[in-house]
Every structure is written in structure tokens, then in C-alpha cells.
Structure 1
Amino acid sequence: MVPNEIPQSLGLVRLMQHFKWTWIGLIASDDDSGEKFVQTLKPMLTRNSICVAFTERAPHVPSSSMDYAFREQHFKLYSSITQTKAEVIVVYGDTDSLLGLKLFLYASYQTALTPIGKVWITTSQWDFTSNIALNRWTLKPFHGALSFAVHTNEVPGFRDFLGTLNPYQPQGDIFIQQFWHTVFNCLVLYSSLTIKGGRNCSGKEELESLPGSDFEMKMSGQSYSIYNGVYAVAHALHALYSSKSKKEATGKEHLLELQNIQPWELHPFLKNVRFNNSAGDEVYFDENGESSAGYDILNWIVFPNESFVRVKVGHVDPWAPVGQEFTINEAAIIWNSRFNQTVPRSMCTDSCRPGYVRTVREGEPLCCYNCAPCPEGTISNQTDADHCDRCPEDQYPNRDQDKCIPKFMNFLSYEEPLGFVLASFALLFSLLTALVLGMFIKHRDTPIVRANNWELSYVLLLSLLLCFLCSLVFIGQPGGVTCLLRQTAFGVIFSVSVSSVLAKTITVVLAFKATKPGASMRKWLGRRLASSIIVSCSLIQVGICAVWLGTAPSFPDLDMKSEAGHILVQCNEGSNTAFYYVLGYMGFLAIVSFMVAFLARKLPDTFNEAKFITFSMLVFCSVWVSFIPTYLSTKGKYMVAVEIFSILASSTGLLGCIFIPKCYIIVLRPDLNTREQIVMKSKSGTQEL
């Protein structure tokens, strides 16, 4: 009824995994069973990323305690234990084969040698308490140890049965007599045991009064297995004699048949046995004939008075549902005093904290590694990470590179200083343009307004007002509508403005030529000429924008790669070629206006608006020539800010150069805003020409 050792090995691995012990020592008895255990356990440990710091053999105790080779082997073993960083040591072997190790550890504990404060993990083959004479002084080094033991349970009536035992009943039981003689230090009458000056055993000594190091009032794992084995055989025999293949017989015939039963006859019935024992445990065998019993995990607690207790802190049940095969009560474990009741750490290298990745040390086990920071743009959110991961596109690593955090949406908003200042200037110049327009409307009958084609002035002022206002469309989070309106509205409105300036310039030139006697230019003068210039030039820009919107319209776009930690919310122009066609056409109109105005700069003073148009076009062209390289070298909201600044600067240049001089005369020099003054300047200008 002894269970298979494979579940014990699996339980050892699960125990290491639970406490994250990845660097352990391994000591096995120096025999075939120890070699088999090592060869079975090591591959399991390797598959689960647990490394063995050292593997040593525990030699058997020689006949002479002064055996030199024995002492040398144990000193070598002692060096391996004390010099390793492994805090956990697994020990495999039976009681006899590990007696030397037990004695040597106690000797190191009692002498000047450094006491070994480790987490000892022993297997079910090693019974600490089998040698009563040694228990009281050899268990100290094993305080806090964990041991695997064949599963046992409280059998009803067993403690009462132990209470009835005495060395005289039943007579002839030499095992009880020897035990009584050893633990109570008394002489059993009528036995062959002797003791100098000893007292006689009364038979009333109580086993319950013995310390735990001498005797425990509960069934051990081995005894529990024997108990279940006896009952399993009894159930198999009952099934055998209850089968239909057996004839009914008298009790005497039963006895004769029982003596003649062969093992092979009982085996099929024993294999199918399944019952609950008196402790409530189910007993059965699997298809391989293995016992259903698992393993208990015991914690050894040794007190200063050399007494001890074994506390069950876990269980290994290979037949339990998936995920429940291994259980451990971590809070119930008492560790070696060296660890101050904190869970021991047994690792070759300290854990790599989140934000770092493990890098293998050349020529060393995988459990020995260096910790390197994650590469830029990646994170690790767990300890001892084997690799770093990139964040999703809408997130970026925090400073410690141990988690991803959402990126900030980056666009030119009204709340930030730059957006607020640009919006304020746009509104300020819009208000100023509206005031100039109102002033021209109020003084529309004065000579200076009428002499400069007041209708074109109104159109130009209205278009400039819209230019200032259209810059507000560029501020705020881009959306589908705003992306469609931004460049197209800007292109069309600016084309109207520049077309108005061109119409003004051409009108000035034609008006001067029409004043010469016999001039044929008079028929070209009038509202239709100016309107035709504005409409035709503007329609070309409207056509360009219509083609742009029809083929590759602008749309909101998220640029997640240009700036770390930010998502650039911007308008994708759809077609950069169309955008530069819009700018190019405006530039063409501005250059034509500049050339015409430059040629007409020396016309009579009455028509000297050409000089101001020349300056305004010079400002306009300078702004937009500077705009292109600056625009291409920026990203995100700063690209938008550059375009808004160019719109405001060029519009302000037109407003200031063309209309401020006239406003100066209207407001501050009304004496110059008379017909006589205009006629006088006109005559003087004509004479100069």
C-alpha cells in the first residue's frame, strides 16, 4: 500500500514553484535508490525552470566512526551546503543511509562550525523518529524543515488501543518489551533485558506521557498504509468467497481453502477493491495497481527543550481534480529561526523587478542571470521577465517601464497658451477689420473712399474678416467637418482676397490710362471688370478645391509614432499635391498683383494705392515663402500653429498696408479727405509724369 514515488517528485516540484525556489541543493543516499531519485527528479526540475546548485551523496555510516573517507565525504558535503546560495536543500534516502548526515549536521550545530540554517525538505523514505536514542539531540538542525510523508489519518479507537498496551500483555511480545525498556528506562520482568540498578516496569506507565521525540500517539504513514493494506486484503478475500464461482462450504472447508489460496487467485479481486476505511478515506488501486494514497506535507517544529511536533501544512493528492492536486497552508509553516518567519528566498540571482529583463550569463545555469533594463519603448510588468513587450499603439511605457499608460491626445486647443494667444489675435484682428469696414461704410461718400473703389474695398475687407475667422477652424480637436473646411475655406477665401487686390491694382492702372485724351480704356472701367476678375480668379481656386475634395479629401488622423507619449490628432490632407496646388495658385495671384502694382507705383497721388498694394503683396509673399520650409519641418500642433500664424500675418499685412493709411486720413486728418486736396494732388502728380 505504499504509493508511487512519482507524485512525491511532482509534489516537490510544485512546492518549489509555490515558493518560487529556483536554486536548490540535492542530497541523496549513496545507493541505487538515491541515483534513481536524482535521475527522476532532475528532469522535472529542469522542465519547470528550477536549477540544482549541487548534487551530493550521503555516505553510509561506516563500522568505525574514525573512518577517514567517511569524514572527508561529510566535510565535502558540509562545504557544499554552507558555500551555496541555495537556501533549500532536498534530502532523499532511508533512515539508515542518512544516519551519517543526521549525526554530522548535529555535530556542526553543536561545535564551532557554522550552524546550517537551511530549509530542509525530506522525502517519505526518511523517518526522523525511527531511532529513539538519537531523536532527543539530533533534530535541532531540522527545525522548520518540511517533510513528505505517506498520507495518514486519525483512526478511531487507535489512541484508546495504545492506552491499553503494557509490556506484560500480551505475553511474549518482545517488541513491546524492548520499546518499554528503552523509553521508560525500566526492567521488564521475565525478559532477557537487564539494566544496572534499574527499577522494574510496573506496566502502568503511560505512553501518552512520553515526549513526541520518543513516541507519538497517532498512526504513522507507514502504519496507516499497513492498516489499509490489511483491510484491502480482507475485502478482496470477502469478494473472492462471495463470488458465484465459489460453492458454499462449511467454516472448516473455508479454513482449508484459505490456506490453499494462491496470490494470482486473489489479485483480480484485490485490484477491484474500493471501500472507505474507518477514518473516512477511500481506499482503492488504479489501473496500474498503485495505491490511491497521496502524501502529507509536514512541518517540523523543534522546541528548546528538544521536544518536537509535526504539523500537517499541505497535501499531495494525485487523484484530486485538476488544479487541486497540491495544497499548502503557507501561514501555518514555522520556518527556521534564521529567516525571522519570512518566506525564505532560494534563488541564484535576486529577482529582476518589473521593467527589467533576464539576460543569461554565459556558461552558467539558466537560473543564474543578469537583470537588464527593457529597451526603450518596451515594458515588463512581472518579475523575472524573459522578454519585454511593446505597448499598444495608443499607450506608452511609464518612467519605470513596468506598465503602459495611455498617450496624451495632442492637438492645438483653446485651453493651452499657444492656442489661446492665436485665437485672441484672430478675434482681435477680426474686430479691427470689422471696425475698418464699418468706418468705410460710414464714410462711403467721402472722396478718399470713393476714389479707391469702395465696392472692391468692401469685398476685400469682408474676405479679410473671413480670413481671420477661418483661422479659428484650425484650433481644437480635428473632426471630419473641420478637416474638410480647413484648407478649402482658407484657400477659397484667400483667393478672393488676393483677387480683390489684383482687381484693385488693374483698376488703378486702367483708370490712369483712361484719363488720357482719346483713351480706349474707358470702356473697360466699371463694376463688371472688377467683379469678373474676382469671380473668375476665385472660381479657379474653387475648382481646384472641388477636385481635391472629390478625389482625396482631408480626414482626421492619429499619428501615434512621431512623439513618444503623445497621439498627434491632426488632419491628413489626403493629397499633398492638391494642398500645394492651392498654395501655388494663391502665390501666382499674389505675384501677378505684386508685378502690376510695382509697375503702377509711380501713378499720380490720387491713385497711389498701388504703392500700398506693392508693400502688402511683398509682405504676403514673404510670409508664405517662409511658411513652406517651416511648415514641413514641424509636426502636430506646431504645424497648425505655423499655418495659423501665416494666415494672420499675411492678412494683417493686407489690412495694414492697404487700409491703415486711409483710416489715418479719415480719423486723424479729415482736412485731407476733401475733393480740393485730391484734385490738387492729382494735378501735381500728372505734371511730374
Structure 2
Amino acid sequence: MQNTSRLVPYVSVLWMTVFCSARCKENPVSCRLWAEPQVPGLSMDGDFIIGGIFTTHYYVRSEQNTYTTMPAQPQCAGRMDFRQLRFARALEFAIREINNETDLLPGVTLGYQIHDSCSDVLMAIKCAFQFANGVDSVFNDSCSKSAAASVPALVGDSSSTPSISMATILGLFGIPQVSHSSSCACLSDKRQFPAFFRTVPSDHHQAAALARLVKRFGWTWIGTVRSDSDYGNNGMASFLKAAQEEGICVEYSEAYFRTQPRNKLERVANVIRRSTSRVIVAFASIGDMRFLLEELAKPPSPRLQWIGSEAWITQTEFLRYNMCAGAIGFGIPRSVIPGFRQFLLDLSPLQVSKSPLLKEFWESSFSCSLNGRTEGVRKCDGSEDIRALQNPYTDTSQLRFSNLVYKAAYAIAHALHGVVCNDTKCDKTTEFAPWQILKLLKRVNFTTKNGYQVNFDTNGDPVAVYELTNWQFKKDSALDFVPVGYYDSSKPRGQEFIMSSAISWMGGQTEVPVSVCCESCLPGTRKAVQKGRPVCCYDCIPCGEGEISNITDSLDCLRCPPEFWPNTKQDNCFPKPVEFLSWDDTLAIILTVFSITGAFMSVCVTAVFYKHRTSPIVRANNSELSFLLLFSLTLCFLCSLTFIGRPSEWSCMLRHTAFGITFVLCISCVLGKTIVVLMAFRATLPGSNVMKWFEPPQQRLSVLAFTLIQVIICVLWLKNSPPFPYKNLKHYKEKIILECSLGSTIGFWAVLGYIGFLAVLCFVLAFLARKLPDNFNEAKFITFSMLIFCAVWITFIPAYVSSPGKFTVAVEIFAILASSFGLIICIFAPKCFIIILRPDQNTKKHLMGKIPSKGL
């Protein structure tokens, strides 16, 4: 109810304005406003009056309403902001300077009315209506006050929230408003605020700049605090949107306004103290930041990297907070206004007493009373020296917003010049409507006397150029503002920043502070978001088998191509090692030794048999088939060598066909010898002439026939689907097995099956002949050799199928060598033993059983 009652004076202004405007011509009346007009803090008469409104105070004194009398007029309260007073006087200086110009509004004198909005919406609304209607409380029957505005244009306000309220009202009357520091992006909406302009960049650009600044230094985990006002809420909303696009996460986002209860401020401060983020972005006004920093300065003070908005980052009074050392932010570029400092210092007690604002400034600065009526305060005696003051009013070393006020005043003057002046002279009696100033203000484009370009885009905004300001310690250990770079929104993306010097970080350190929710995921890992937490909080998961990530903070792992495999760190793909049974492999060397040894044994046995070819034991055991068997065994031993080495198209075809044919030749010889032994005893039966079918020619023919069948199988295999080199990528994931693919599995198993068939047939026949009467029955040895042969190859099948990589080839070689050694040892070792060590048994009588055998 209290706030509602405070609206009564302002609503009455609006109602009386509309009512009198509509009725005075039909029924002339005299209308009186209920509320008294607000007295300007600074004013000067002129042909045309320029309005000004600044936030020189931050509170409004209010009284409890009784609802029986008219509420008292609001009055500003609290400590004066001397910096804002300097802004107000910058407008005063600019207007006085324009009045002395010869090429801008010559012959025309500008005046001004500068008010204090107290950063209060209600006070700003009252001033807005006063700018529209004038200061007279009575509307006469001529309706003059309702037909034309009191001011053609105005400069202000300092804060976005009062400016929004004023722009809503002034836009209805078409009165241009040019603000020097209302940066809320919402004010760029020309549908809502058609008459609003500003010389300060929109927060839309600042928010994007702050987000890119945070991203530039690798901070992905930050906290934010803002003023709970249009400036803070809209600015932070734009920043959070830009931060999200940059992949930045916000741990907390707190809001505070200076009029809120103390416990709200303490809660915000505690949230900041308990946070894990080391970087905090503050989008706050000066008044709100003052309270927040005072609270955070109480122990324990958090060690934070502050990122500030333009509203407070260049505020000199905050330099006393050493906990903010290293703070960076975007400020309005500093400038120089010639003659301005002298103007500020050119004050006398007499001049000061004529202005409520200057009077308060003087008395507050020198702790005296101009009229001497304040109890307990000395009277100002004229000894006060304004040049000795050191406060924001007299500090012109870094003029920033003062220059924006200066530019705003000149922009209005140029627009007014276009309305009341022609090529020859200016007519100060010219009548015009505010919308004419508005129209020309959109097109102003000039350079101020101190060298700054002034123009507005379609939204009434200037080009966004910021100075990157850093709080650094000086030699005397005091903090100071140091420009370290610039940001120009008109530059292409990625080129907006121009860094000019090194940045001092929080606490004065030179290393860029780290502020992340989690440490970066190194190459070889990927990020996995933690459930229920922002995307910047994640776990680093090692890449899966066969996958890599070669960048930091990778979101996904990439699978290596089929012939590549990750290194141990899983950050790069390397060609898989190719594995085959190479000649320098230890296993290959061992098998080669056994192969050559077996071939050498076959050659030695052949030499022994050849030397004793006429001996009974050689002749009795079919010497022709024995030599052919030894030859085939030599080939069997040597064919195992074709399985060693890098598989090629020819070696793959050769190894399998050579193995199949030589083994069939070998088994055919053994089979022939077995049949001859079996048939020899059958031939001793009366009336049997079966041996005529097993003479040497028939034996050779049978061996040739058996071998020819295998040759035909091999030819068909090679013709239809021959073996070929094949990179096996499935058996081992981390290496390539280079092997010989069988091509046609039917062909391979047909070759093995045929060998197995002959071996089984040979074993059966030899088994049947093992007990035939003879002193040296070769069938017994053939039976034993075939038993070994069949056992080896039956065992070979599962071992071949299950052996990995090069061991598959080794198993096949082992089977060839084992079966070959079984044949040569079982069949020829006993004979060589007799020939070499027992020559007395190598006689026809002994073989015929004439002499008792002593056994082996």
C-alpha cells in the first residue's frame, strides 16, 4: 500500500496531462497539478532547455502514509555519489561549451535542467512528466503546456531501470532521450522505446565480450552475481546465454539489490564463499557492488578472480578492496576533455549556494555548513580549497562516462542545429515538435572536439568498443586501473581482442588461475557427464579397446581403422604389427632345424640303402619302393619349409599342394609295400598266382595312380578357389595375422581326407599282415608307423582349428615333421640298425628263418 500511495502524485500528472490536453480546447479550463514540480539540482536558462537526469543519490526518503492527507513529496537520501555529480557537470560543461561555438547553433543559447533520479523509478517518472509538461503547476486555457514539450531532448538516466520507465513515457511524446550509461540490451527494442538513444554500448555486446573473455582463459566453471534490477537481470541473462554457447558452466547465479534485507546479502556472500569455482562474473551496479564487497571483505575473504561489468570495474572507490586484486573487466575507454577539470574546480561558495546539488557536495566534502544553521557543524568560512580535494568529483585522470555525457550533449545539439538552422543562420524562434529532433538524431554523424566519433545504429546504439581493465598493484602496493587490451565488436569473430600488456591475476600472481569443475581429460580418455550435474562436471573415462582420443577434453573416442591399433596411451593409431612365422622367429628356426635334420636323415638312409642295395634286407623289402619312399620323405621334410616366411600368392599355393602331393606319394609307397608284404604270403598258398599282379611295374603304376588322384584334387582346388594371402584382423585385435587363407575349404579337407583315407587303408592292411610268419616282417613296422601317422593327424585337426596366429602354421609344420619322422624311424631305423650294427643278420638264411633269431 505504501508504494501504491507513492504513485498518486505521478498518476495525477499523467491524468491531468491527458485530461487537459483533450478538454481544454472544447471547454477552456484551468487545470492545476496535485503535486509540486521537482526543483532541478542544476539549471540555467536558455533559448532551448536540454534536460538531464543523473543518479547522484541511491535512496528516496519516504514517510508512513496516513491516507488522510496527500503523501509528502519524495526526497533523495543517503550519501551523494560524487562521480555522478561529475557526470551532471559534464553535461553542464558541454552545454556551456556549445554556447561558445561559432559553427554549432550560432546565435542560439542552450540552457539545462538537471535532476537527481535517486535511482528510483517513481522519481524518474515524475521527472519524465516534468520534462514533457514543464515546471508550471497550472495548465491555462491556451493548452500551451500540453501542446509542446518542456525540453526538446534530455540526457540520462544513469541506471537502466529508471531509463526504461522514462523511455516508456517519453516515447509516447516523441521526446528523444540519450543515456550515457543505461546499457540494458532491452532498451535497443525500438518498438518499445522508439525515442531512446545511448552513447554507451548495449550490454548485449558486453555480455558476449565477457563470455569470450572467460572462454579465452579456459575458465569453464564460474559463479555469477548480479544486481536484482533491469541492468543486472537482463545483462546476466545475455551473458548466461553467450556462456552456454561457449561451453561455460555456471555453478551459481545470485542476485542482490541494495534495498533488500541484510540476511539476503549475507546469504549471497556465503554462497560465494562456499563455492568451488575460482572465477566470479559480477554484472552489478555500483551501489549493489559496494554492499557486496563490504560483506565479502569480512573474514574469511574468498580468494577469487573477479570479472566485472563496465558499471563498477573502473570505480575508484573499490580499489581499497585488496581481495579484488587482479580483477579484470570491460570498461568504457578512458578519454580526455580539454578544459573540463578547470571547469569542475572553478567553484566558489557563492556559486555553490545557488545549486542544491553543489551545496550538498560542498558541505559534505568540507564538513561545514554554508548557512551556518546546522547544529554541531562549523560554518564554511571561505578557506575551503576544492583543489586539495581527492575524490571522484575531482578525479579526471580516467574520464570514461563523463565523455559519454559530453558526446550525448553534442549529439542533441547537432540534431537541434539541423532543425532551427539553415545554411546562413539559426532562428531561435522556430517552433518544432520533438519528433523532428528524434528524426535528425538518428542521422547524426560527427566528431567531437576531443576526437571521438558519434553516430547511432538503427537501434540507437553506438559501436561497442571496450577497454579491458586490470586491477594491478603499483609500486606503493596500492591498486590501480591498468588498461591491458581492447575489445571491438565491429571486428571479425576471433579478432575482437587486442591485448596490449600482461595481466596480473588474483592476488597479483602471474599464472592464469584455473577454474574448472573437473580437470581436463587427457588424450586417451573421453568426458562422461556426471549425472545430475552441469556438462562441465564430468568423469574422464579411458577410451575403449581399439579407440583413441587425440585431443584434450574429447567428447568421444574415435575407433582406429581396421589395420591400425592404439598405442599404450590411446592417443594415436599406429599400424598393427603383422605377425607370421618368419625365418628369424625362434620357433621357425627350431622347426627349420628339425626339417633339415629329417631331410638329412632321409638322404643318409638313402645312401646307406644304396650302398647296401644288394644286401638281402634291402632287396627283401622292395628296394625300389624303399628308395621312392625315402625320396618322398625327403620332400615331405623339405615341404615344411614352404610354410615358413611371409605368405605370398605363390607360397600359399605351393605349401598346401606340395604338402598334399608329397604325403600322398609317401603314403602310396608305404601302401604299396604293405600290399606286397600281404600278397607275398598269399602267393605261397597252393595254386595262387596273385603275385603276377604285384610285380614292380604294377607297384609303380599303383603309386602313380594314387598320387595322380591327389594331383587332380590339387589342380581342381587351385583352379576354382586357390589359397591366397589373407590379413586376419579378427583373431587378434591388436595385431594382424598374415596367413594363407584356404580359399576353398572343401579343397583343403579333400586333400587331407584323401591322405587320411590312404593312411587308414595302409594301417588296416599292415595290421592284418602284422602276424604273418617271417623273421623280419615289415608289416609290423608299417603298422606302428601308420599308427603314429594317424594319431598325429587326428590330433592335428583340433589343434589346427584352435591354434592362434603363427602357431596355426607351426602346428601344421609339426604334424608334417612328426608324421615324417614316425615313418622314417619306424620303417627304416630297424633296417639301418641291422645293416650297420648287425650285419650278421643281414643274410638270406636269417631272413628266411633258417637261423634262430636272437631278437632285437
For Structure 1 versus Structure 2, the TM-score category normalised by the shorter chain is 0.7 to 0.9
Equivalent residues in 2 for 1:4-403, closer than 5 Å: 4-60=202-258, 70-106=261-297, 108=298, 113-126=299-312, 128-129=314-315, 134-135=317-318, 137=320, 139-150=321-332, 152=333, 158=336, 167-168=345-346, 201=385, 215=395, 217-220=397-400, 222-223=401-402, 225=404, 249-250=423-424, 252=425, 255-256=426-427, 285-303=456-474, 305=476, 307-326=478-497, 332-337=502-507, 340-403=509-572
CA contact (8 A) 2:227 2:288 kept: yes
Q: Which amino acid aligns with 1:292?
A: V
Q: Structure 1 stretch 432-441 or stretch 609-618: which is displaced more?
A: 432-441
CA contact (8 A) 1:7 1:294 kept: no
TM-score (norm 2): 0.66
Gaps of 5+ in 1: 63-68
Deviation at 1:498, TM superposition (A): 0.6
CA contact (8 A) 1:604 1:682 kept: no
CA contact (8 A) 1:24 1:52 kept: yes
Pair 181,259 (structure 1): closer, same or farther in 2 beyond 3 Å: same
CA contact (8 A) 2:660 2:710 kept: yes
Pair 552,233 (structure 1): closer, same or farther in 2 beyond 3 Å: farther
Q: Distance in 2 between matches of 1:476 and 1:275?
A: 86
Encode CA deviations 1:378-403: one digit per residue, 9 max, x unaligned. 44444444444433323334445454
CA contact (8 A) 2:319 2:480 kept: no
Q: Distance in 2 between matches of 1:397 and 1:82?
A: 44
Instruction: Please say if 1:664 is aligned against 2:833.
Output: yes
CA contact (8 A) 1:147 1:297 kept: yes
Encode CA deviations 1:528-577: one digit per residue, 9 max, x unaligned. 21222112111211222222223322222222232242222222212333
More helix by share: 1
Pair 280,409 (structure 1): closer, same or farther in 2 beyond 3 Å: farther
2:847 match: 681
Instruction: Please say if 1:520 is aligned against 2:698.
Output: no
Q: Which amino acid aligns with 2:465?
A: G
Equivalent residues in 2 for 1:384-533, closer than 5 Å: 384-514=553-683, 518-533=687-702
Encode CA deviations 1:438-486: one digit per residue, 9 max, x unaligned. 3333433433333322222222122111111111222222222222222
SS where residue 53 of structure 1 aligns? strand
Q: Distance in 1 between matches of 2:471 and 2:697?
A: 110
Q: Distance in 1 between matches of 2:447 and 2:685?
A: 130
Q: Distance in 1 between matches of 2:846 and 2:264?
A: 127
Q: Distance in 2 between matches of 1:550 and 1:281?
A: 90
Encode CA deviations 1:350-403: one digit per residue, 9 max, x unaligned. 444444444444433333344444445544444444444433323334445454
Deviation at 1:10, TM superposition (A): 1.3
Kindly indicate whether structure 1 or structure 2 has the higher relative contact order, using CA contacts under 8 Å at least 6 residues apart. 1
> Aligned pair count?
646
Q: Distance in 2 between matches of 1:278 and 1:440?
A: 123
Q: Distance in 1 between matches of 2:428 and 2:661?
A: 116
Deviation at 1:437, TM superposition (A): 2.3
1:642 match: 811
Q: Which amino acid aligns with 1:490?
A: F
1:66 match: none
Q: Which amino acid aligns with 1:59?
A: F
Pair 225,609 (structure 1): closer, same or farther in 2 beyond 3 Å: farther
2:719 match: 550
Q: Distance in 1 between matches of 2:650 and 2:381?
A: 112
Pair 276,458 (structure 1): closer, same or farther in 2 beyond 3 Å: farther
CA contact (8 A) 1:129 1:213 kept: no
SS where residue 56 of structure 1 aligns? strand
Q: Structure 1 stretch 418-427 or stretch 375-384: which is displaced more?
A: 375-384
Q: Which amino acid aligns with 1:653?
A: G
Deviation at 1:20, TM superposition (A): 2.8
Q: Which amino acid aligns with 1:668?
A: L
SS where residue 583 of structure 2 aligns? coil
SS where residue 147 of structure 1 aligns? strand
Please, what is the CA RMSD of the aligned residues? 4.2
2:173 match: none
Q: Distance in 2 between matches of 1:566 and 1:459?
A: 43
SS where residue 315 of structure 2 aligns? helix
Deviation at 1:649, TM superposition (A): 0.1
Deviation at 1:423, TM superposition (A): 1.6
Pair 685,44 (structure 1): closer, same or farther in 2 beyond 3 Å: farther
TM-score (norm 1): 0.81
Deviation at 1:298, TM superposition (A): 1.7
SS where residue 332 of structure 1 aligns? coil
Encode CA deviations 1:144-184: one digit per residue, 9 max, x unaligned. 0011123x37x7xx488679778349999979999998999
Gaps of 5+ in 2: 1-198, 371-376
Q: Distance in 1 between matches of 2:263 and 2:545?
A: 53
CA contact (8 A) 2:205 2:464 kept: no
Pair 249,24 (structure 1): closer, same or farther in 2 beyond 3 Å: closer
CA contact (8 A) 1:273 1:285 kept: yes
1:593 to 758, 762, 774: 762
SS where residue 291 of structure 1 aligns? coil
**Structure having the higher Rg:** 2
